[in-house]
A and B are shown apart, each in its own frame.
Chain A
Amino acid sequence: MTKMPLWADAILVPLISLFLAAILSALVILGIGENPVEAFNLMVDGALKRSAGWGYTLYYTTNYIFTGLAVAVAFHARLFNIGGEGQAMIGGVGVALICLYIPWPHWTLAIFGASVGAALFGAAWAFIPAYLQAKRGSHVVITTIMFNYIAFSVLGYLLVEVLRPAGSMDPASATFPEATHLPNFHDMFAPEGSRMFRGAPANVTFFLSLAACVLVWLLIWRTKLGYDIRSFGKSETAAKYAGISPLRITVIAMLISGALAGMMSVNTTLGESERLILNSTEGAGFVGIAVALMGRNHPIGILMAALLFGFLNQGGAELALWTNIPRELIVVIQALVILLTGALDNMVRMPLERLFLSLRKKDTV
């Protein structure tokens, strides 16, 4: 007996959760003595009404697509990868090494190389937690949290002791060579002399993230590997019966997850800062959890959710600029979305299910 129609499960439940999160956020804004309507207008102005605003929004969206997909792929195998943050950091190291030590003739080749580097490094960072989960039963949630902290220390060490150019005080690598610099939206879309997208960080990596959406969709729902991953996520005992190796699927799902998280750094490290810096991830690994939950682990949902969070992040930055509301408001909103769409899912779902059941009973009587 299905309790409610598919559309209600896929669209209505997240929308209601989002609505509740919005109300709570408005209350938080009221609570700190600001006007939520004005704040919202300001966010829309800053994030959506100017091309530069869009340039930032889509830049953040790109990050969140990658980390959201990363979380979702792992979720499909019932693995909760909280380690996106660390995997993205280490992915950044991959990008930096590839861009600093290989003389790329053109950005088209550089982005390819950087993507491979980011994916490999991110995947490698996810490998140990995956292997330990599959082989020794250590919970992947705990190990990936630990690996976030370890990644931060590794990155700190590399930037301070190894990659920092002589004489520089900054914990950052040298700037990547000119040839590797990616075209941003201003370069690509602004007509000659126009100020469109000027100064905004959105770059060609955005299209890479869209391609990743399509590829992940194909992988999960159209390939036998995706079938394996979903089966394993739904029922480990059944997967074993069907000859699907838990070890293999755990490791592969986490490698893909880590690779996707790592590829976020193509956007940040190669696309934006053009050198490796200490805090380029800015919590995007955690936002990926909210994005995946909100997007119901489906690439289309993830794309929409990533856009939403990109808008929120850019809008929040505008707010911090023009009002007394700190940027942390966005963290609060993200937390509320994770809480409502993730942990309190049943709070929304159970009354809805009851509603649909009573509607159906009326139909049949």
Chain B
Amino acid sequence: MDFLTLLQISDSSVRLAIPLLLACLAGLYSERAGIFDIGLEGKMLAAAFAAGAFAAVTGNVWVGLLAGIGASLILSAIHGVASITFRGNQLISGVAINMLAAGMTVLIAQRWFQQGGRTPSLTGDGRLNPITLPFADMFESIPLFGPTYKELISGHSVLVYLALALVPLTWWVLYRTRFGLRLRAVGENPASVDTAGVSVVRLRFTAVMICGVLCGVAGAYLATGLQAGFIKDMTAGRGFIALAALIFAKWRPWYALWACLLFGFLQAVAVRFQSIEIAGVVIPVQLMEALPFILTVIILAGFVGRAIPPRAGGEPYIKER
């Protein structure tokens, strides 16, 4: 494998890792607050559709982004009402949200665009355009660093940099702010927060809504950045890979970045090569596709360090008598 190929694979790893990272951080906020969310997939999908649709109609990607966030927030609100207000089963709610998104996106897409459940292709300002960082051309002639800077570091859309910036930001919020302290506490022992006079309901709703915003950005990036428009089921399990990354990362922001980059890399390799030969053994593309899931199962099994979820995760909070 030559340097240029390596660079291209790294570049597409980053691109593919970004929606995973956004969704993974989304899940991190929700699950750290004690609300399990297996509906990341559905929220991303709804957001991808809304972003694709609105960007296509208005020709403005930012309107699309807002629409995507809005769509995702609606589903978040449903999840919040079901799992916080009515203390329903968070997992079942997540399943329902995924199916709701899978159905509604196609239904509305068909109604609006009659293109068999897709949105019209985006062009020009309807898409997220890459940003060229300063000096990209100037450095190009420097060996190794020049091309790396130009191809890998520069030339991504603004959401890519935003997502990367969210990693330290999330860390800071989680460990250095009042909100972060309360968020972590409510995921570990909601009674501690409640008896301290802080509303568990409001805190958890806030977390679920942050999760909605980030899933919205993730979905919008899929439809307007990674691809040019929405197609049916375009998330293709990314929400679950993000969930896998979250477990892999043990619910921590920096680890989430590395996990998403790893899974992005696996996807990039699977896209680029149909099959890989390592030491004479042909690895089928299906194995590459399945690898994130297999790795997660191995992590879950505790063979590579135990992943302990927030203690109050998945449990609706009921005041004790």
A residues in contact (CB < 8 Å) with B = 28, 32-33, 80, 82, 128, 132, 136-139, 141-143, 145-147, 149-150, 152-154, 156-157, 160-161, 286, 289, 293, 324-326, 328-336, 338-339, 342-347, 350
Does any Cβ of A come within 8 Å of B7's Cβ? no
For B107, give its contact among A80, A136, A332, A338 (CB under 8 Å).
Answer: A332
Contacts of A161 in B (CB 8 A): 284
How far is the CB of B258 from the nearest CB of chain A, in Å? 19
Shortest 9 CB-CB contacts between residues of A and residues of B? A331-B103, A343-B93, A332-B103, A335-B99, A138-B300, A342-B92, A153-B290, A343-B88, A339-B96
CB closest residue in chain A, given B100: A335
Give B300's nearest chain A residue, CB to CB: A138
Whether, in the assembled complex, B132 has its beta carbon less than 8 Å from a beta carbon of chain A, the answer is no
Q: Quick check: which of B137-145, B165-173, B206-214, B239-247 contacts chain A, the rest being far away?
A: B239-247
Q: Known: A32-B108, A328-B106. Is A139-B300 also a contact (CB below 8 A)?
A: yes
A137 touching B86, Cβ below 8 Å: no
Min CB distance B104 to A, Å, is: 6
- In the assembled complex, the CB of B95 is this many whole angstroms from the nearest CB of chain A, namely 6
A347-B93 contact in complex given A139-B300, A150-B294, A161-B284, C-beta closer than 8 Å: no
Say whether B82 contacts A339, CB under 8 Å: yes
Q: What is the CA–CA distance of A32 and B106 in the complex, to the nearest angstrom? A: 11
A contact residues around B300 at 8 Å (CB): 132, 136, 138-139, 142-143, 146
**A128, A152, A332: which contacts B100 (Cβ < 8 A)?**
A332
Q: Which residues of the other chain, A, contact B293 by a CB distance below 8 angstroms? A: 146-147, 149-150
* Interchain CB contact under 8 A, B111 and A128: no
Q: Which residues of B contact A335 (CB under 8 A)?
A: 96-100, 102-103
**B49 → chain A closest CB, angstroms:** 12
Partner of B91 from A80, A339, A345 at Cβ < 8 Å: A80
Inter-chain contact A154/B87, CB cutoff 8 Å = no
Q: Is the CB of B92 within 8 A of A343?
A: yes
Residues of A within 8 A of B110 (CB): 32, 324, 326, 328
Q: A328, B103: Cβ atoms under 8 Å?
A: yes
**Known pairs A142-B300, A146-B294, A339-B96. 20 more at Cβ < 8 A?**
A132-B300, A142-B247, A143-B297, A146-B240, A146-B297, A149-B240, A152-B290, A286-B95, A293-B92, A324-B111, A326-B106, A326-B107, A331-B102, A336-B96, A336-B100, A339-B93, A342-B95, A342-B96, A343-B93, A345-B88
Does B78 touch A at the CB level, under 8 Å? Answer: yes
Chain A CB within 10 Å — which of B96, B107, B296, B309 has the most? B96
Binding site for A on B (CB under 8 A): 38, 78, 81-83, 86-93, 95-100, 102-104, 106-108, 110-111, 114, 117, 237, 240, 243-244, 247, 284, 286-287, 289-290, 293-294, 296-297, 300-302, 309
Can you identify 17 A-B contacts, CB atoms within 8 angstroms? A82-B91, A82-B95, A141-B91, A146-B244, A149-B290, A324-B114, A328-B110, A335-B99, A335-B103, A336-B100, A339-B82, A342-B96, A343-B88, A343-B90, A345-B86, A345-B89, A346-B86
In the complex, which residues of chain B have a beta carbon less than 8 angstroms from the beta carbon of A82? 91, 95
Cα of A286 to Cα of B102 in the assembled complex, Å: 12
A128 touching B297 in the complex, CB below 8 Å, given contacts A32-B111, A153-B289: yes
Q: Which of B104, B114, B290 is within 8 Å of A332, CB to CB?
A: B104
- For B78, list chain A residues within 8 Å (CB): 339
Given contacts A32-B108, A328-B117, A338 and B99 within 8 Å (CB-CB): yes
B240 lies within 8 A of A153 (CB): no
> A333 to B111, alpha carbons, bound, how many Å?
17
In angstroms, how far is the closest chain B Cβ from the Cβ of A196?
33
> Which residues of B have CB within 8 Å of A293?
92
A138 CA to B306 CA, complexed, in Å: 9
Q: In the assembly, what is the distance between CA of A137 and CA of B148, in Å?
A: 43
Residues of chain B lying within 8 A (CB to CB) of residue A145: 38, 240, 243
Cβ distance A314 to chain B, nearest Cβ, rounded Å: 17
Query: In the docked arrangement, what's the CA distance between A40 and B297, Å?
Result: 43
A157 to B285, CA, bound (A): 8
Q: How far is the CA of A328 from the CA of B100 in the complex (A)?
A: 9
Q: Name, among B86, B117, B240, B302, the residue most crowded by chain A CB atoms within 10 Å (CB to CB).
A: B86
Residue of B nearest to A341 (CB): B92
CB distance from A287 to the nearest CB of B (A): 9
Using known A-B contacts A342-B96, A343-B82, determine if residue A136 contacts B88 with beta carbons closer than 8 Å.
no
When the two chains form the complex, which single residue of A33, A152, A153, A350 contacts B111, counting CB atoms closer than 8 Å?
Answer: A33
Q: Are A342 and B89 in contact (CB under 8 A)?
A: yes
Using known A-B contacts A138-B302, A154-B286, A329-B103, determine if residue A342 contacts B93 with beta carbons closer than 8 Å.
yes
CB of A321, distance to nearest CB on chain B (Å): 14
List chain B residues, Cβ under 8 A from A350.
Answer: 86
Q: How far is the CA of A293 from the CA of B92 in the complex (A)?
A: 10
Give complex CA distance A35, B109 in Å. 18
Bound state CA distance, A314 and B103, in angstroms?
A: 16
Residues of B within 8 A of A154 (CB): 286, 290
Residue in A132, A325, A336, A344 whose beta carbon sits within 8 Å of that of B86 in the complex:
A344
